[in-house]
Structure 1
Amino acid sequence: MASPLSPDSKSADREAGDWPGRRLGLPESGPRSVARLGRRVAALVIDWGLAYLLAWVFFSTPGASPDPFTILAIFAILQIVFLALLGGSVGHLLLGMRLVPLVPGWIGVWRPAVRTVFLCIGIPALIWDRDQRGFHDRLAGTVLVRR
């Protein structure tokens, strides 16, 4: 019998030969595979930094930091616009990712809007599924994949 820490043991959540995105029909690696956590976090930092920069340039008073809600609003607007028009935020596109719907067709505007609302309230950081999709992606019917 294999010990719980041995590489031969199966995880309770994942069977041997399973990977994030398999149940969604996505490959294990390469283009169209599920984007991993490191890339996602880096993209979020880029997007948040861009929102902060825009808030600081256009909406802050000299010697003061921009209002956090202004930064959040700019972040949300950038997310919705870039996801709907280009299939990815600035951070996603710079790091080789894109957002795709689970059903064929255009991503639309409602999917990025739903995804962004939940992203802005922090839910995805707390709730993930076996395919490494945040709750915001599950509700929107989307998945973030590598290009």
Structure 2
Amino acid sequence: MDKREALGSWISGPRAAAEQMGADFGYRGKRLGLPQEGSGSIAPVGRRIAALFIDWALCLLIAYGLLAHGSAQAASNWTFVLFGVLSLLTVGTVGCTPGKRLLGLRVVREDGGRLGIGAVVLRTVLLLLVVPATIWDRDSRGLHDKAARAVQVRI
């Protein structure tokens, strides 16, 4: 391997280098037995982030309008609490938050069933800690989803 190939593999990343050497990673969700596209496939990262912002904005509006009495700091604190409650209640009952529902996403168990209350609580706590949600595997699942054995899919 000459210097350009070595530099190219470094710039492209380890996945590209492994694929050049013959590794087959498949599509996102293949290891979980999910379809490549359409209903039941892994939710796109952009939609998941957009749903998160929609849910956060909804909680911020509620906190600022009803609970904070004009205080920005109180609104911020209440938003955090409301986001946790929203996630617990909606994912635990219908499998999706309002933002996820608007964007056609749902949170399910790896086998396609509904998450149990313990898994929903674990997932929500780890989501509120932020860091676990920012570390992803090759199926684009955050550690909060992996710990709860959950996956976000298209509906």
Interval of TM-score (by shorter of Structure 1 and Structure 2): 0.7 to 0.9
Q: Give the TM-score, by structure 2 length.
A: 0.82
The Cα offsets for residues 66-114 of structure 1, whole Å up to 9 and x where unpaired, read as 5222111100000010001111111111100001101354312121211
1:133 is aligned to 141
Q: 1:59 and 1:66 mapped to 2: Cα distance?
A: 11
1:11 is aligned to 16
- 5+ unaligned residues in a row in structure 2: which ranges? 10-14
1:65 is aligned to 72
Runs of 4+ residues over 6 Å off in structure 1: none
Instruction: Letter of the 1:98 partner, please give it.
Output: R
2:132 is aligned to 124
What's the CA shift for 1:11? 2.2
1:32 is aligned to 40
What's the CA shift for 1:18? 0.7
Is 1:81–2:89 an aligned residue pair?
yes
Is 1:22–2:27 an aligned residue pair?
no
Q: Match of 1:11, SS?
A: helix
What's the CA shift for 1:131? 0.6
Which protein has the larger Cα radius of gyration, Structure 1 or Structure 2?
Answer: 2
Q: Give the TM-score, by structure 1 length.
A: 0.86
Q: 2:134 and 2:115 mapped to 1: Cα distance?
A: 24
Q: Is contact 1:56–1:65 with CA below 8 Å preserved after alignment? A: yes
Q: Match of 2:72, SS?
A: coil
What's the CA shift for 1:28? 1.2
Q: Match of 1:40, SS?
A: helix
**Could you tell me the percent identity over the aligned residues?**
38
